[in-house]
Amino acid sequence: MTEQIKFYRDKHLSFIESLDTKTEDYEYWLSEHLRINGVYWGLTALCCLKASDKFKKKDVIEFVLSCWDKENGSFAPFKGHDAHLLSTLSAVQILAIYDSISVLSPEMVDSIVKFVTSNQLEDGSFQGDEFGEVDTRFTYNALSTLSILGKLTPQVVDPAVSYIKNCYNFDGGFGLCPGAESHSAQAFTCVGALAIVGKLEETLTKQQLDDLGWWLCERQVDNGGLNGRPSKLPDVCYSWWVLSTLAIIGKLDWINFPKLHSFILKSQDPQKGGISDRPGNEVDVYHTCFGIAGLSLMGVEDLEPIDPVYCMPFYITKKFLKYK
């Protein structure tokens, strides 16, 4: 590294710790629909920083349980909101990180499984909830949730895999549904989902994996950052979506590490900590999490190694039941 910018570890810690104290900001109240996701992002960043004790485990678990939506039988992003696959995965991830899946009664686990599987459609895709939005993000949410709970079955997995296959594009990337343009985040959700169910090699040929690696490494632009699609601006969150996918397919080193490292460091706020989408912009917990997780994948800044498939520390995911 020739860059002089340092990694503001302590400032990031205090930024993440301060997130739940911003009640005097209007934006805090406008973001309730993302609260449980925000807790997962904050906690994952803390895990990478080897400081997960900065959040009070008891309070966090209490918060997660307060998000239970009785009517729909799964987790909402906030108390009194509706369950969704996005918030369901975040809830289960947080509990897994705290080694606390056991706080869920067997009835609750059954109910989550039912919620997830009832949102699978005939073509193998998943809708986020009963209102019909379909996206390969939800496929990932569903398979990851079931995997963490040890509840994957061929009835769910096989059609899901064939749907993912239909989202593969001629350029080597994946779209949010069949026919949609390739997008880096969708590469992660599709390839991550295939990896969770152990079907990466049997679904994609060596040529297709090479093409995917090619498409992904072309996301790096001259300033070192990664973009989500051709001719778009780089954004720190793609440090995760692109890099994790490259890691899963064994081509992590196909992009330039020092330049991406420097791009992420330049996107830090040196005063109050946290990381933004690109240098000079306002920071948030989402980009802080994925920036730090990206640094962890590159093995720099002495961070806890993170599992590219689950976006959780390896010391947690190694305990998950492998689906065969």
What does the binding site for other proteins look like in residue numbers (CB under 8 A)? 24-26, 29-34, 71, 76-77, 80-82, 84, 129, 131-133, 169-171, 176-177, 179-183, 213-215, 217-218, 220, 222, 229-232, 235, 251, 253-256, 259, 269, 271, 276-277, 280-284, 286-287
State the nearest-atom distance from the C-beta of 33 to other proteins, in Å: 5
State the nearest-atom distance from the C-beta of 198 to other proteins, in Å: 24
DSSP string, 209-222: HHHHHHHHHTTB-T
Give the pairing of strands 275-276 and 312-313: unpaired
- Measured in degrees and rounded to the nearest 5, phi and psi for residue 258 equal -55, -35
Nearest-angstrom CA–CA distance, 302 and 316: 18
From the number of C-beta atoms within 10 Å of its C-beta (0-12, 13-18, 19+), residue 242 rates as: buried
> At which residue do the structure tokens 């906030």 appear?
78
Judged by beta carbon, residue 65 or residue 177, the one nearer other proteins is 177
Judged by beta carbon, residue 253 or residue 302, the one nearer other proteins is 253
State the nearest-atom distance from the C-beta of 55 to other proteins, in Å: 21
Closest listed residue to residue 133, CA positions, set 272, 190, 7, 141: 141
Judged by beta carbon, residue 74 or residue 317, the one nearer other proteins is 74
State the nearest-atom distance from the C-beta of 28 to other proteins, in Å: 8
State the nearest-atom distance from the C-beta of 61 to other proteins, in Å: 22
CB 74 within 8 A of CB 83: yes
State the nearest-atom distance from the C-beta of 26 to other proteins, in Å: 4
Judged by beta carbon, residue 9 or residue 251, the one nearer other proteins is 251
Task: Calculate the alpha carbon distances from 284 to 56, 225, 227, 241, 267 in Å.
Answer: 21, 18, 18, 17, 11
Judged by beta carbon, residue 254 or residue 314, the one nearer other proteins is 254
State the nearest-atom distance from the C-beta of 319 to other proteins, in Å: 32
Angle between helices 238-248 and 184-196 (to 10 degrees): 40
Judged by beta carbon, residue 77 or residue 124, the one nearer other proteins is 77
Judged by beta carbon, residue 162 or residue 256, the one nearer other proteins is 256
Judged by beta carbon, residue 72 or residue 120, the one nearer other proteins is 72
Nearest-angstrom CA–CA distance, 156 and 120: 8
State the nearest-atom distance from the C-beta of 101 to other proteins, in Å: 26
Task: Calculate the alpha carbon distances from 223 to 93, 128, 235, 267 in Å.
Answer: 33, 36, 11, 12
β-strand partners of 313: 306
C-alpha radius of gyration, the chain, whole number: 19
